[in-house]
């Protein structure tokens, strides 16, 4: 990760699409695994997400993270950050 994923304000984050929100809900439900990597891949219900671009964006925006440290490439449970939890509790705002 770039190291600045938790420094941006929510207004500075790009609008999340329905797929990204569904990925966050799956992680919140305990169904996600993430690879320990600078470009973390997300797995839901044991299957690789088909949209790894979005998975990487969620991690780099500081919305999803590994629950614990792991070896490079190791899959560990994914959890939402405080910012990720906040995104799910916000009402969906249409793009301006």
Residue 90: predicted pLDDT: 81
Q: Distance between CA atoms of 15 and 33, rounded to whole angstroms?
A: 23
Q: Is the full-model pTM beyond 0.85?
A: no
Residue 95: predicted pLDDT: 52
Residue with tokens 């997400």: 49
pLDDT tens track for 66-92? 999 999 999 999 999 999 999 998 865
Element containing residue 43 per DSSP (H, E): strand 42-44
Q: Distance between CA atoms of 25 and 23, rounded to whole angstroms?
A: 5
pLDDT tens track for 38-59? 899 999 999 999 899 999 999 9
For residues 6 and 38, which has the higher predicted lDDT (pLDDT)?
38
3, 61 contact by CB (below 8 A): no
């Amino acid at each position: 990760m770039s190291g600045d994923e938790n420094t941006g304000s929510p207004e500075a984050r790009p609008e999340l699409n329905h797929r990204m929100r569904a990925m966050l809900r799956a992680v919140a439900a305990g169904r996600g695994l993430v690879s320990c990597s600078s470009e973390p891949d997300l797995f839901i219900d044991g299957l690789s997400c088909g949209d790894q671009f979005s998975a990487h964006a969620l991690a780099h925006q500081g919305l999803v993270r590994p629950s614990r440290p792991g070896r490079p490439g190791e899959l560990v449970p994914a959890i939402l950050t405080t910012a990720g939890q906040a995104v799910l509790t916000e009402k969906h705002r249409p793009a301006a």
